[in-house]
Structure 1
Amino acid sequence: MTMIDIMLPYYGDVALMQAAVQSVRSQTDEGWRLTVVDDTAHPDVPGWFESLADERIRYFRNERNLGVTGNFTRCLDLAEYEVMSMLGTDDLLLPNYVSTVLAAYKDHPGVGMIQPGVTVIDEHGQPVKALADEVKRRLYAPKVTGRRLMDGEELAASLLRGNWLYFPAITWRTEAIKSVGFRADLRTTQDLALELELIERGEQMLIDSTVCFQYRRHLESVSSKMALDGDRFTEERGLYQVMAERMKAKGWPRAERAARMHSASRLHALTLLPTAVKGGQRDVARALAKHAFGNG
């Protein structure tokens, strides 16, 4: 019987983390193990896990703060089952998540990535239609009813036009994701870099439209935080430039063109430009304009 390692790199809000844990415990399929790697120093968290007395849950607290990349890497090191997922601290599994992804993997053994259906909720747990997600769904995500396998240039070009995946919802073949890992030099584009590396190595993605995951967006803080972080687009532009050359070397012209255009990333920067200008953030505004209208 195939089991899934659900890894939870934890930092942040205790209540949201507890809700995420309880969503795992509410799965209809018992083929899971949850591993929580705590990168905080909150005094009440270890005792809460001890009170659960659930043998299906492993809890580790880091002796020192590892940061996002370090904690993700430790989660990879601790994963042992054939497939795994990297649940976000504030996201939720619907009760059918494990049954959905394990059934998909059983029908497509060895697939590198499984992206199931996702709904988006706000900070209060209510369904929401955020602009970023509507753009993903309407402009960039493939239209899938049931299941669809994608790979190669088709998948790479699709993601380079606009990354429509939800990283915390993906189930990975553990051997595949461990073979690539997370890059310490990237802060905001680690997920896309990882996915593209796996595609270049020949891994396939299975898309399953069954909705079984709730992805949380904290709407009140998104615009302000993103507008204050013009550096993220410098990182994105660098990754797209590198990927354009790699796609060219691989003989994937559609993917190369998509990397050079990176239309979704440019559009994102453009939508944030008025906020930066209105807030008098000149350096950020220049960075956003360069990304939105530049040649690279």
Structure 2
Amino acid sequence: MTAVDVMFPYYGDVELMKQAARSVMGQQHQDWRLVVIDDGYPDPEPARWFAEITDPRVSYQRNEKNLGANGNYRKAVELVEAPIAVIMGADDIMLPNYLTAVVASFEAFPRASAVQPGVQVIDELSRATTPLADRVKKAALPRGAQRRQLGGEDLATSLLRAGWHYFPSIAWKSEMLKRIGFRSNFDVVQDLALLLDIAAADGSMVLTPELAFLYRRHSGSDSSVRALDGRRFDEERRFFEGEAARFDQLGWNRAARAAKLHLTSRLNAAALIAQSTASGKFGYIPKLAKHVIG
């Protein structure tokens, strides 16, 4: 049986964290290790709760100082030991078949670098939901009733046209994950950057349609706040400019064009202009409009 490390960078709602951890402990595939990395959340309850768990596959540690999301992701990668790794969101839910589905996908495509299973988006109350951003993701997702593999420029172009992936649900080949890792200069797009780095290194991703993961979308998440005030798009614009230059140099013309256009990112900013107007936050509009036009 293939071992999987579920890395669990944590900072946030305690009860949702418990739901997420329980979903890992309830997996059909039994060869797993759950490594919780508490980034200094100001509540003693996580440490108390995990101390009562007797399963030796579960470990808990607390950072001496807050590393931030990107820093905690990079620490998680350093701690990976198993051949397959997952960097799970601390408020998401693995369905019981999740590890079985991703391990089977790696067995079917042993050269793959990552696996994206089927995902259902849920809200703060665990209700199924499909916001506009996720309807766009669903429309952009490469279609197929069976598992399929994308790599190289095809993968890069598809992701740059519309980032249809759900980072916390992705399972990674640990060797590739540790070799490439997360770039330290991004706080929002580090997951897309990692996938594009993998594509540029001749890596590939397997997409399996089997529903196996519940991704929780919060209106108050860090990325949502960054998006509304324009900080997310400042980072995205810098990122896409860099990717366009890189893929131009590689001769990946389709990927370079998709990066230069970054259409879904611009559409997202346009939608947020309407949201800012409706909420009376007019000060955010100039930054958002700059991204739509630029």
Using the size of structure 2 for normalisation, the TM-score is 0.95
Question: In structure 2, what is the equivalent of residue 253 of structure 1?
Answer: 253
Task: Check 1:227–1:191 CA distance in 2 against 1; reply closer, same or farther (3 A cut).
Answer: closer
**For residues 20-79 of structure 1, what are the alpha-carbon distances to aligned partners after superposition, in whole Å with 9 as ceiling and x for unaligned?**
010011111102111101112421221211211111111111122211122111111111
Alignment partner of 1:134 is 2:139: no
Rounded Cα–Cα distance in structure 2 between residues aligned with 1:224 and 1:47: 30
- Percent of pairs with identical residues: 44
Q: What do residues 70-117 of structure 1 show as CA deviations (whole Å, max 9, x unaligned)?
A: 211111111100110001011000000011111111121231010010
1:109-162 CA-to-partner distances (Å, cap 9, x unmatched) read 231010010011111111112111111111x11112120010111111111111
Distance 2:171 2:284 in 1: 35
User: Match of 2:262?
Assistant: 262
Residues 1:105 and 2:106 are matched in the alignment: yes
The secondary structure found in structure 2 opposite 1:214 is: strand
Distance between the aligned counterparts of 1:218 and 1:30, measured in 2? Answer: 30
Secondary structure of the 2:52 match is helix
CA distance in 2, matches of 1:244, 1:66: 30
In the alignment, is residue 202 of structure 1 matched against residue 202 of structure 2?
yes
Contact 1:94 1:213 in 2 (8 A): yes
Residue type matched to 1:53 in 2? Answer: T
Residue of structure 1 in register with 2:45 after alignment: 44
- Greater Cα shift, 164-173 or 120-129: 120-129
Aligned position for 1:17: 17
Q: Tell me how far 1:221 sits from its aligned partner.
A: 6.8
Amino acid at match of 1:86: I
Distance 1:3 1:161, change over 3 A: same
Deviation, 1:201, is: 0.5
Q: What amino acid maps onto 1:103 in structure 2?
A: A
Judge conservation of contact 1:223–1:272 (CA < 8 Å) in 2.
no
**Counterpart position of 2:274:** 274
- Measure the CA separation in 1 of the matches of 2:279 and 2:19: 35
CA distance in 2, matches of 1:269, 1:292: 6
Letter in 2 for 1:117: G
Q: Distance in 2 between matches of 1:20 and 1:142?
A: 28
Matches within 5 A, 1:213-292: 213-219=213-219, 225=225, 228-292=228-292
**How far, CA to CA, are the matches of 1:52 and 1:215 in structure 2?**
25
Q: Which runs of 5+ in 1 are unaligned?
A: none
Quote how far apart the aligned CAs of 1:257 are.
0.8
Cα separation, 1, equivalents of 2:223 and 2:197:
30
Displacement, 1:184? 2.2
Q: Could you tell me which residue of structure 2 aligns to residue 53 of structure 1?
A: 54
**Structure 2 letter corresponding to 1:160:** L
Secondary structure at the counterpart of residue 228 of structure 1: helix
Within 5 A, what are the aligned runs for 1:22-171? 22-39=22-39, 40-138=41-139, 140-171=140-171
Contact in 1 for aligned 2:98/2:213 (Cα 8 Å) = yes
One-letter amino acid of the structure 1 residue matched with residue 246 of structure 2: R
Contact 1:227 1:284 in 2 (8 A): no
Aligned equivalents of 2:66, 2:223: Cα separation in 1: 28
What TM-score does the superposition give when structure 1 sets the normalisation length?
0.94
CA RMSD of aligned residues (A): 1.7
> Contact 2:227–2:233 (CA<8 Å) still a contact in 1?
no
Give the secondary-structure state (helix, strand or coil) at the position aligned to 2:90.
coil
Q: Structure 1's 134 and 34: CA in aligned 2 closer, same or farther, altered over 3 A?
A: same
Q: What residue in structure 2 maps to residue 8 of structure 1?
A: 8
Instruction: Say if 1:31 and 1:98, in contact at 8 Å, map to a contact too.
Output: no
Report the more deviating stretch, 268-277 or 153-162.
268-277
- 1:276 positional shift: 2.5
Aligned mates of 2:113, 2:223 — CA distance in 1: 33
Q: Deviations over 1:176-202 (max 9, x none)?
A: 111122222111111111110110001
Match of 2:229, SS? coil
Q: Which amino acid aligns with 2:261?
A: M
Asked if the contact 1:227–1:275 (Cα under 8 Å) also holds between the matched residues in 2, the reply is no
